[in-house]
């Protein structure tokens, strides 16, 4: 069984390495060739998508933006062998995922959308949560491979459903982050001890993963990225694009805030830097 | 040592009972006398605030709205004995708390604001989180009594700080609830399996106490109150009142949504009923 891996960045590198360590034969492509090359000798690096996918039974990809996904799969579909299963793990557009699924089907290929959560730590520790859309039987074929890379693998439904689930997950986080930030800004203005405040928040019904992970960073103005503003903004824009006339005030506000932060040089900061948006009164 | 207890409702009743069980001598007043009477013989019920507080070393109160607090303390301050320590545990206005603290001081009384989180379950199990504002040495005097009623007791700073901390806590929850609701509504519109979606949310970086406690209720349209819309709306209005020109978009939106829900007959529903606001397109 041969596996093609496209995208060996901060997420793709450890994910492909887990498959390789589990004994699978991997051929990798990355736009910046050196990053793929660095995975040799365990993983074979090649300089074109064609070389990467032509003999593969499975093609996995995790690249940057929906435009990268589109460009990648234009090449993949030209060169993949009949019957191959394509799995895009990028957080990308559900509409694009559905289109690619249909294109693949017409070419005798199968496709899943399978974005992940858990960040680089989750990728390194193989504890990712993976949300999958596409045909159930294709999902079941790929499941053993996904289990090598992640801990919680959830089948969400037809093509596009994996992407939709990931976007819904990011929508929850928007609300969580806004709530924590507004509370800390309010507490600061009122002269409260912010460490004590965070203790109250994480000690009861206001507790969240985000408060535990980002709360202290917000207080200390530590904007070291766990998750980049530029990537989160991409995700939020996808929600806005997909939600159509559905009114989701929280996610709309978060998207606006992160756009403004991004315009002010915070693209490479962590999502917790949204507290600057409030403190600097950027709205 | 004599303790006066004002307000023997769903919260006050178990809280006063814990003090009584710990061996303290309690005299209780409640606007509806029968509710205080029901605590006899362990707790002595009286028909006026005057009778309740006149010999008390400590006066605790947990009533409904800021107007009830104001009315209660007008009487308390008339009749409390010099040196008595007054502790309002109602979630009420920080501005009012500061005023009462100052009034008390002038009369030779001491006052703390000490609102709680943890709901009726927390009150019954004595696991409340209690946030305290006022003079540090007064806090230390009252601490042993607070420890009988709660698990996490946090000194937040000068008078009003307990109320501010509680309002900040409610602000976090507004964001959390909005995020969960918008995600579930989006997921529903996109045809995802909502149980699977909630599993994804609670399994990773979108997890929160609110998602765990209210997520399934939202999916099942179970609006049984854990926390009443009418009480949460009161708290959110206090944040709006106190935040002055600070722009807190999340809490402002939540306040608007809960006001509309309240106007449509959801006052007695649980806060998770906000999903109806989105589903019915009430905005």
Please tell me the predicted confidence (pLDDT) of residue A282: 76
**pLDDT score recorded for residue A223:** 98
Chain A CB contacts of B165 under 8 Å are: 187, 192, 196-197, 200
From the list A108, A114, A186, the residue with the least C-alpha distance to B94 is: A186
**pLDDT score of B38:** 95
Give yes or no for residue A7 having a pLDDT over 90.
Answer: yes
Closest CA–CA distance from residue A209 to any residue of chain B (Å): 5
Q: pLDDT tens for residues A60-114? A: 999 999 999 999 999 999 999 999 999 999 999 999 999 999 999 999 999 999 9
- Give B-chain residues touching A180 at CB under 8 angstroms: 172, 175
CA-based nearest distance B47→chain A, Å: 36
Residue of A115, A183, A238 to mutate, testing the B interface (most B Cβ within 10 Å of its Cβ) = A183
Active-site residues of B, by number, are 166
- Contact indicator for B283, B182 with CB cutoff of 8 Å: no
> HEC string of chain B?
CEEEEECCCCCHHHHHHHHHHCCCEEEEECCCHHHHHCCCCCCEEECCHHHHHCCCCEEEECCCCHHHHHHHHHHHHHHCCCCCEEEECCCCCHHHHHHHHHHHHHCCCEEEECCEECHHHHHHHCCEEEEEECCHHHHHHHHHHHHHHEEEEEEEECCCHHHHHHHHHHHHHHHHHHHHHHHHHHHHHCCCCHHHHHHHHHCCCCCEHHHHHHHHHHHCCCCCCCCEHHHHHHHHHHHHHHHCCCCCHHHHHHHHHHHHHHHHHHCCCEHHHHHHHHHCCCC
Residues B68/B90, Cβ–Cβ less than 8 Å: yes
Mean pLDDT of the A43-68 span: 97
Position B281 scores a pLDDT of 85
Percent with pLDDT over 70 in chain A: 100
Q: Domain coordinates of chain B in residue numbers?
A: 2-158, 165-281
Residues A35-56, mean pLDDT to the nearest whole number: 97
CATH number, span B2-158:
3.40.50.720
Inspect the interface and report whether the beta carbons of A157 and B191 lie closer than 8 Å: yes
CB B19 within 8 A of CB B5: yes
Residue B283 is predicted with a pLDDT of 65
Task: Identify the band that residue A53 occupies on the pLDDT scale cut at 50, 70 and 90.
Answer: very high
CB contact under 8 A, B186 and A197: no
State the smallest CA–CA distance between residue B100 and chain A in angstroms: 18
Taking an 8 Å cut-off on Cβ atoms, the answer to whether A197 and B165 are in contact is yes
Considering Cα of A222, then A224, then A230, then A234, what sign does the dihedral take? negative
Tell me: the pLDDT tens digits for A249-281? Answer: 999 999 999 999 999 999 999 999 999 999 998
Question: What pLDDT sits at residue A269?
Answer: 98
Residue A261, H or E segment: helix A249-261
Q: Which residues of chain B have pLDDT under 70?
A: 283
Q: Is this complex's ipTM strictly greater than 0.90?
A: yes
Longest Cα–Cα distance of chain A, Å, equals 65
Just list the catalytic residues of A: 166
**Nearest Cβ partner for B165 among A200, A207, A248:** A200
CB contact under 8 A, B182 and A175: yes
Query: Dihedral of CA A253/A259/A265/A267: which sign?
Result: positive
Name the CATH code of domain B165-281 (choices 1.10.3720.10, 2.60.320.10, 1.10.1040.10, 1.20.1630.10): 1.10.1040.10
CB pair distance less than 8 Å for B250 and A182: yes
Give pLDDT tens digits for A194-215: 999 999 999 999 999 999 999 9
Verify whether the Cβ–Cβ distance B182 to A197 is below 8 Å: no
pLDDT in tens, B53-88: 999 999 999 999 999 999 999 999 999 999 999 999
Residues of B in contact with A239 (CB under 8 A): 186
Q: Rounded to a whole number, what is the distance in Å from the CA of B48 to chain A's nearest CA?
A: 35
Residues of chain A found within 8 Å of residue B161, distances taken between Cβ atoms: 190-192
Nearest to A180, CA basis, from A257, A266, A251, A274? A274
Q: Quote the pTM value.
A: 0.95
Q: What are the chain A neighbours of B250 within 8 Å (beta carbons)?
A: 175, 178-179, 182, 250, 253
Spatial distance between the Cα atoms of B72 and A129, rounded to a whole number of angstroms:
53
For testing contact with chain A, the best of B168, B185, B189, B247 (most A CBs within 10 A): B168
pLDDT score at A126: 97
């Amino acid at each position: 069984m041969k596996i093609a891996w496209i995208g060996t960045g901060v997420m793709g590198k450890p994910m492909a390495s887990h498959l390789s360590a589990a004994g699978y034969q991997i051929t990798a492509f990355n736009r910046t060739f050196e990053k793929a090359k660095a995975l040799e000798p365990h993983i074979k690096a090649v300089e074109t998508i064609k070389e990467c996918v032509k003999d593969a039974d499975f093609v996995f990809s995790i690249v940057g933006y929906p435009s990268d996904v589109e460009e990648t799969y234009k090449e993949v579909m030209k060169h993949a062998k009949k019957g191959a299963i394509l799995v895009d793990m990028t957080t990308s557009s559900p509409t694009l995922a559905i289109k690619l699924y249909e294109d693949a089907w017409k070419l005798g290929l199968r496709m899943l959308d399978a974005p992940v959560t858990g960040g680089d730590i989750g990728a390194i520790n193989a504890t990712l949560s993976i949300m999958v859309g596409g045909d159930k039987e294709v999902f079941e074929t790929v499941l053993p491979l996904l289990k090598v890379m992640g801990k919680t693998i959830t089948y969400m439904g037809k093509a596009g459903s994996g992407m939709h689930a990931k976007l819904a997950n990011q929508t929850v986080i928007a609300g969580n982050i806004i709530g924590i930030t507004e509370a800390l800004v309010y507490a600061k203005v009122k002269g409260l001890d912010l460490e004590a405040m965070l203790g109250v928040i994480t000690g009861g019904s206001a507790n969240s993963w985000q408060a535990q992970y980002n709360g202290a960073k917000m207080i200390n103005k530590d904007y070291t990225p766990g998750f980049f503003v530029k990537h989160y903004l991409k995700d939020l824009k996808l929600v806005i694009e997909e939600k159509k006339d559905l009114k989701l005030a929280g996610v709309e506000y978060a998207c606006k805030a992160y756009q403004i932060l991004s315009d002010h040089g915070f693209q490479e900061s962590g999502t917790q830097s949204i507290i600057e948006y409030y403190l600097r009164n950027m709205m």
